[in-house]
Amino acid sequence: MSLLLNNPETMQKASEEIDAIVGTEHILDEVDVTKLSYLQNILNETFRLFPPAPLLLPHESSEDCTISGFHVPRGTMLLVNTWSIHRDTKLWVEPTKFMPERFEGGEGEGYKLLPLRNLRRLAVAEIFSSESLRKSSTVREEEVSCLIRRLLKVSTSGTQNVELRLLFSILASNVVMRVSAGKRCVEEEHAGTKMEKQLFQDFKNKFFPSLAMNICDFIPILRVIGFKGLEKNMKRLHGIRDDFLQNLIDEIRLKLKRTTSLKADEVTDGEERRSVAEILLCLQESEPEFYTDEVIKSTVLMMFVAGTETSAITLEWALTLLLNHPKVMQKVKAEIDEHVGHGRLLNESDIVKLPYLSCVINETLRLYPPAPLLLPHFSSEACNAGGFDIPQGTMLVVNAWTMHRDPKLWEEPNEFKPERFEAGLGEGDGFKYIPFGIGRRVCPGASMGLQIVSLALGVLVQCFEWDKVGTVEDPSHGLGMILSKAKPLEALCSPRRDLITLLSHL
Ligand code: HEM
């Protein structure tokens, strides 16, 4: 009540909601309360700012356990400081401000009320570690083989013009979906059918909201004043995504129950590869308060959204650049022929032996970083960046695109010259080349993204002859927060003669 008295606009908005939903015919009752989402946001925000039990009640660990990386012996008294979690600047935008709107669209229900830093540590240790990456290599190799089979099917009768954007997007989405949730986004049996396009479009609509939604991440005021019915659309989208993700994890939970009652350590130590959702569901058994369904859904969602288009777009740009630079294409091919040969398909363990292929991918990411403005960052304290005083709580947008093409930092910055990466990046060069961001919020999936792109590009060059459809493949890019090619890539493709025998066995 005190907060409402001090915030008359919020009071007004709450009373308008009650008038609209309850009306003046009867006194508001408990059934009405469930329909009053803004009122509930006010309560959530009040609990966040003034939790009645800021230290919760002391808990005693009944057995040895690990909480967020800390070993907690049996019989330890545990105090949870809700007050500081709820006012942590790394978790909340303007945490001391009373803003019930922050809970709109379900935001804050799950992971935001949890220590995100710990979740990130978990992500790095369990999901993106080199061991997890190694275990998921078969997924990437199988999906790349699927792509090759598709290309082979259309091109065995002779050189064919193929549209690659959809194929690359399906490849990346299937890999990320299998790694995160254990199943494909589109099954191979639907390859090339209308059903495939429809299924994939449905997937995209769920996880890649329109430009309007992205714009509001960068210009938050648009959320408050409303932008093209944005608030309504976001709520609708949140509902659709949430149903999809909940069904997905319920399905996995059921499967886990049916098969075995594995414990998390058995799951992570074993050789068998398990999806991220499966690992988290097993951890849920021992730490249900931390690994809630909300946390699991958020983690899987984050992987879909951040991992699929970025990888697919990089692959599309890389092949575009190779088509426009036949000498570079030739050099990549020669490297693969020398180190892998024609007797077997290139696999992930070959990538370290292909430094020039890596240079091509680095140079692609320099010229066309898929997230040219990275993600918006927020200054948790006042600082000075590049000579500018940045007050605490400022939204910072880093323009990686400009840095990657700055003539003070790069020689002939607009030229495609993979050789510039041959000597590796020197100390401090990391700050001028940031396709994955840098620092604490650096992309945790960078290694996985690089593996997807390197493997797919390497195998495409190893198995097929490629050519442009016209004289030059148009390198212009579209508008948006994600730097995709303006015109989807089409190319002429035919199987390499030397590899016909190998390809016929795929
Ligand atoms: C070539 C492929 C990729 C590129 C270029 C890329 C790039 C980026 C960039 C620029 C950011 C923001 C960093 C910042 O603002 O400082 C980011 C964040 C993120 N990326 Fe990637 N990414 C790629 C692949 C992946 C993959 C495959 C995954 C997981 C499956 C992934 C998961 C994430 C996540 C979860 C975040 C958010 C991290 C946070 O907020 O702390 N990315 N990525």
- Could you give all domains of the chain from N- to C-terminal order, each with its CATH number? 2-115 (no CATH), 124-504 (1.10.630.10)
Q: What is the per-residue pLDDT for 132?
A: 85
**DSSP tally for the chain: helices H, then strands E:** 21, 11
Greatest mean pLDDT among 75-89, 98-112, 187-201, 223-237: 187-201
The minimum-distance atom of ligand 1 relative to the CA of 304 is 30
Ligand 1: centre distance to CA 442 (Å): 7
* Ligand 1 centre distance from Cα of residue 202 (Å): 23
- Between 27 and 91, residue with greater pLDDT: 27
Is residue 350 predicted with pLDDT exceeding 50?
yes
Residue 371 has pLDDT above 90, yes or no: yes
Mean pLDDT lowest among 17-26, 57-66, 374-383: 57-66
Distance CA 279, CA 264 (A): 6
For 185-216, b/e burial (b = at least 16 CB within 10 A) is bbeeebbeeeebeebbeebeebbebeeebebb
The stretch 358-376 carries a mean pLDDT of 94
Residue with tokens 């886990």: 256
pLDDT of residue 277: 92
Most confident residue range from 27-31, 52-56, 214-218: 27-31
Residue of 436, 447, 448 to mutate, ligand 1, most atoms within 8 A of C-beta: 436
* Helix boundaries (H) for 73-186: 82-86, 116-122, 130-135, 137-155, 165-181
Res. 330: pLDDT tops 90: yes
Protein residue whose Cα sits closest to atom 40 of ligand 1: 441
Q: How far apart are CA 346 and CA 455, in angstroms?
A: 7
- Alpha carbon nearest to ligand 1 atom 43, residue: 443
Q: Give the β-pairing of 377-378 and 70-72.
A: unpaired
Q: Closest ligand 1 atom, CA of 398?
A: 15
- Model confidence at 67: pLDDT above 50: yes
Mean pLDDT across 261-289: 70
Rounded to the nearest angstrom, the distance between the alpha carbon of 444 and the centre of ligand 1 is 6
CA distance 45 to 38: 10
Is the model's pLDDT at 217 over the cut of 60? no
Query: Has residue 214 got a pLDDT over 80?
Result: no
Pick the closest to residue 19 from 40, 4, 46, 39 (CA basis): 39
Residue nearest to atom 20 of ligand 1 (CA): 443
* Residue written as token pair 């709450």: 14
Whole-angstrom Cα distance, residue 330 to residue 167? 23
Q: What are phi and psi of 77, to 5 degrees?
A: -80, 125
Provide, rounded to the nearest whole percent, the portion of the chain with pLDDT above 70: 86
pLDDT of 78 > 80? The answer is no
- Is 329's pLDDT higher than 70? yes
The residue with greater pLDDT, 346 or 472, is 346
Atom of ligand 1 nearest to the CA of 376: 15
Tell me which of 278 and 232 has the higher pLDDT: 278
Let me know: does 107 contact 292? Beta carbons within 8 Å: no
Mean pLDDT of 56-83: 74
The amino acid occupying position 304 is F
Rg (CA), the chain: 25
pTM (predicted TM-score): 0.76
Q: Which tokens go with 157? A: 């009768």
Q: Is 443 annotated as a binding residue?
A: yes
pLDDT top residue among 105 and 205: 205
The pLDDT of residue 424 is above 70: yes
50 CA → ligand 1 middle, Å: 34
Query: Is residue 44 a contact partner of residue 100, using CB atoms and an 8 Å limit?
Result: yes
Tokens of 132: 């997890």
Q: Is the CB of residue 93 less than 8 Å from the CB of residue 108?
A: no
Distance 306 CA to ligand 1 centre (A): 5
In SS3 terms, 416-449 reads as CCHHHHCCCCCCCHHHCCCCCCCHHHCCCCHHHH
Rounded Cα distance between 405 and 321, Å, is 16
Ligand 1 neighbours by CB, cut-off 6 Å = 120, 176, 302-303, 306-307, 310-311, 314, 365, 370-371, 374-375, 435-437, 441-445, 448-449, 453
Distance CA 394, CA 391 (A): 6
Query: What percent of the chain is predicted at pLDDT more than 90?
Result: 42
| Residue 345 predicted with pLDDT over 70 | yes
Cα–ligand 1 centroid distance for 470 (angstroms)? 34
3-state secondary structure of 465: strand
Amino acid type, 130: S
To test the pocket of ligand 1, the residue of 117, 316, 443, 447 to mutate (highest count of ligand atoms within 8 Å of its CB) is: 443
Which among 80-84, 159-163, 412-416, 501-505 has the top mean pLDDT? Answer: 412-416
Per-residue confidence band for 310, with pLDDT thresholds at 50, 70 and 90: very high
Confidence (pLDDT) at 462: 97
Highest mean pLDDT, choosing among 89-93, 226-230, 325-329: 325-329
Q: Which ligand 1 atom sits closest to the C-alpha of 369?
A: 5
CA atoms within 13 A on the CB side of 154: 17
What does the pLDDT average to over 482-506?
Answer: 89
Tell me the range of 216-225, 231-240, 342-351 where mean pLDDT is highest. 342-351
pLDDT at 114: 40
Q: Are strands 77-78 and 59-60 parallel, antiparallel or unpaired?
A: antiparallel
The C-alpha atoms of residue 402 and residue 153 are separated, in whole angstroms, by 41
Give the distance (Å) from ligand 1 centre to CA of residue 339.
30
Q: Which atom of ligand 1 is nearest to the CA of 437?
A: 16
Segment 478-500 shows an average pLDDT of: 88
Q: Is residue 445 predicted with pLDDT exceeding 70? A: yes
3 state SS of 224: helix
